Structure 1
Amino acid sequence: MARTIAFLAYPGFQILDVTGPLAAFEIAGRYARQPYDIRVMALAAGPVASSSGALLMAGPLADPAQVDTLVVAGGEGVNAASAVPALLDYARAVAGHARRVTSVCSGTFLLAAAGLLDGRRVTTHWYRTSSFARRFPQVRLEADRIFVRDGAYWTSAGITAGIDLALALVAEDQGEAIARRTARQLVVPYRRQGGQSQFSTLLEMQGTSSRFGDLLAWVRDNLARPLTVEELAAQAAMSPRNFARAFAAEQGLTPAKAVEQLRLEAARDLVEESPASLDRIAIETGFGDTERMRRAFIRTFGAPPQSIRRSA
């Protein structure tokens, strides 16, 4: 029996939030023993205008008892959609039956407005994390994640991260081989870890202030060094105390934490793309030993280096 994958659209939805994951399920269904019944739904059946103005034809809302996986799209229209009682009631009704409830990008707002995410771990598009945290303090937001699973609830970051989420769902349903084959057809990496950062740590920190831009670039090129506060302060031509205070004020994190983030990003890239041993990677990125690197990976990415390498 086919599993029903139901996409919920509304005026102003982001079209790639639907079409990206939809394509993943469509292609996976060609290879799977158990195919997918893919539906695009809206409160009012017919053409639904996306945020770009492009129209997508939608059917009526499916019987909640028939939905296996609900996928709520994000987009500029999500705030208005989150204030429509009929949509919130429908999301709650589906959640009472569906095996999985998911969202792409800012679709998280609709699920949260329905009260379905209270106390749960979620993510959303990085641009909307501040407003989400203010509006839904009862939800455990993990802002810097590609996708997050909390039981039957899956949420993803912005737009193309919906494809990563769909591939993870396909892997759960059909196995890794079919998910990998689907990724090859889509010509996308199989597959970014849910714990992977939404954006470059270095670019993020450089973007907040140009004062330490050159220093951060130097750190990225010298990760194997001890990189103590004293060494960083000397490189910045400042006293250690003034440097630590100014850096924390401008970057929002301590120098030690910034160094660890840069080490983690560099190590993750090498784990995924390089044939080098984990011992060598730990030394090159300044962790010193694999156990220290392993603990940092689990704390930040939710998985040890070996698991991330296998997935890559």
Structure 2
Amino acid sequence: MQRHVVIVAFEGFQLLDLAGPADVFAGATLLAGDSGYRVEVAAVTAGEVVAHNGVTIVAPVQLPDLPGPVDTLLVTGGFTVPRRLADRVLVEHINRLAGPARRVASVCNGAMLLAEAGLLDGRRATTHWLAAGGLADRYPAVDVDAEPIYIRDGRVWTSAGVTAGVDLALALVAEDYGHELARDVARGLVVYLHRPGGQSQFSTPMLAAVPRQDPLRELQTYIDGNPAADLSVAALASRVQLSERHFSRVFTDQTGVSPGRYVERSRAEAARRLLETTNHPLDRVARESGLGAPETLYRTFRRHWRISPGDYRRRFSSKED
């Protein structure tokens, strides 16, 4: 029997928040055979709904007419969410449908609609990093974590901005049908292979600001391209011909990240890529990524992505079997 997924849209929603998960569910249905998902788009009023980018979709069903229960209720986000919080019909029907649903989820700042409906009280949740402060300020009963790309707290799932909705949907598919099918869906969509929820919203370059000075910009490129090199503060300071103390101060001032933190994150990213694309044993992955020993590799992965290197490889490897 197909699982009934209802995706909630409203005027000004983010189109990719809907289209990304919907395509994931469609791909899973194609691969799962007789099971899979039946996806419906619902709005307060049935009919045309205009996304923020101007594209018009049709919501064939209106929320008040949905009897429930549904398997999965997914709420989109968008720039108009702050205004939608005052829409009592929208919020009340999100709350009504969420009650008996097996799962409730949001993409981007759709988390604010879940919070307005009281569905995130006492729960850990994430959202787009730009909306995290507003979510925390407006809903102090919510434990907001702006770092992960998605979070599961019981039956409630929340995700970061836009493309993280694809990661969220892949995680839901993995829960229902296993990681192998989720990986096949990701390959079919030619997207990043199902990232673990604990992974940061920021890649290493995104984590840091772009330095104003050319030597420091070149140094960032060198760090990311040479994880196994000597990347100590002394060595990096020498490359840009600064004292260690002055280098640390300038690097932190211009990037917002200390040299040590930037190097660790860059090496963790290098290890992640090796686990995805090679069969190298963990000691070689640790060595080539500059982390040195498997124990350090394990600790780094647990700190950054809340998953062990071995589990990460089993779930997200892209190498051919």
2:40 equivalent to 1:36: no
Contact preservation (8 Å) 2:5, 2:37:
yes
Whole-angstrom CA distance in 2 between matches of 1:217 and 1:112? 40
TM-score by length of 2: 0.87
Q: What is the match of residue 250 of structure 1?
A: 254
Q: What is the match of residue 8 of structure 1?
A: 8
2:236 equivalent to 1:221: no
TM-score by length of 1: 0.90
SS at 2:271 equivalent: helix
Contact preservation (8 Å) 2:211, 2:251:
no
Report which stretch shifted further, 21-30 or 121-130. Answer: 121-130
SS at 1:101 equivalent: strand
Amino acid at match of 1:154: W
Structure 1 residues 8 and 203: alpha-carbon distance in aligned structure 2, compared to 1, 3 A threshold: closer
What are the within-5 Å matches in structure 2 for residues 155-234 of structure 1?
Answer: 155-207=158-210, 209-210=212-213, 212-234=216-238
- Report how many aligned residue pairs link the two structures: 312
**Which deviations, in whole Å up to 9, do the C-alpha atoms of 1:53-89 show, x marking residues without a partner?**
2221111115464121111011122111122122222
Q: What is the match of residue 22 of structure 1?
A: 22
2:241 equivalent to 1:240: no
SS at 1:66 equivalent: coil
Amino acid at match of 1:13: F
Contact preservation (8 Å) 1:229, 1:255:
yes
Report sequence identity in percent: 44
Amino acid at match of 1:56: I
Where does the alignment leave 5 or more consecutive residues of structure 1 unmatched? none
Q: What is the match of residue 296 of structure 2?
A: 292
Amino acid at match of 1:29: T
Cα shift at 1:11: 0.3
2:97 equivalent to 1:90: no
Cα shift at 1:292: 0.9
Q: What is the match of residue 79 of structure 1?
A: 82
**Which deviations, in whole Å up to 9, do the C-alpha atoms of 1:197-239 show, x marking residues without a partner?**
4343125425264462222222223322343222222233222
Cα shift at 1:42: 0.6
Amino acid at match of 1:310: R
Whole-angstrom CA distance in 2 between matches of 1:276 and 1:195? 23
SS at 2:260 equivalent: helix
Structure 1 residues 29 and 203: alpha-carbon distance in aligned structure 2, compared to 1, 3 A threshold: closer
Cα shift at 1:133: 4.4
Q: What is the match of residue 279 of structure 1?
A: 283
Structure 1 residues 209 and 278: alpha-carbon distance in aligned structure 2, compared to 1, 3 A threshold: farther
Structure 1 residues 306 and 41: alpha-carbon distance in aligned structure 2, compared to 1, 3 A threshold: same
**Which deviations, in whole Å up to 9, do the C-alpha atoms of 1:275-298 show, x marking residues without a partner?**
322211211222110111101101
Whole-angstrom CA distance in 2 between matches of 1:36 and 1:269? 31
Q: What is the match of residue 116 of structure 2?
A: 113
Structure 1 residues 41 and 111: alpha-carbon distance in aligned structure 2, compared to 1, 3 A threshold: same
Whole-angstrom CA distance in 2 between matches of 1:153 and 1:208? 39
2:59 equivalent to 1:60: no
Runs of 4+ more than 6 Å apart: none
Report which stretch shifted further, 225-234 or 283-292. Answer: 225-234
Amino acid at match of 1:272: E
Contact preservation (8 Å) 2:2, 2:34:
no
Structure 1 residues 102 and 209: alpha-carbon distance in aligned structure 2, compared to 1, 3 A threshold: farther
Whole-angstrom CA distance in 2 between matches of 1:210 and 1:132? 35
Q: What is the match of residue 153 of structure 2?
A: 150
Contact preservation (8 Å) 1:64, 1:97:
no
Q: What is the match of residue 69 of structure 1?
A: 72
Amino acid at match of 1:152: R
Report which stretch shifted further, 265-274 or 209-218. Answer: 209-218
Superposed CA RMSD? 2.3
Where does the alignment leave 5 or more consecutive residues of structure 2 unmatched? 317-321
Contact preservation (8 Å) 1:74, 1:104:
yes
Amino acid at match of 1:183: A
Cα shift at 1:25: 1.4
Structure 1 residues 252 and 138: alpha-carbon distance in aligned structure 2, compared to 1, 3 A threshold: farther
**Which deviations, in whole Å up to 9, do the C-alpha atoms of 1:118-138 show, x marking residues without a partner?**
343322234434444444454
Cα shift at 1:48: 1.0
Contact preservation (8 Å) 1:64, 1:98:
no
SS at 2:235 equivalent: helix
Contact preservation (8 Å) 2:180, 2:315:
no
Report which stretch shifted further, 49-58 or 156-165. Answer: 156-165
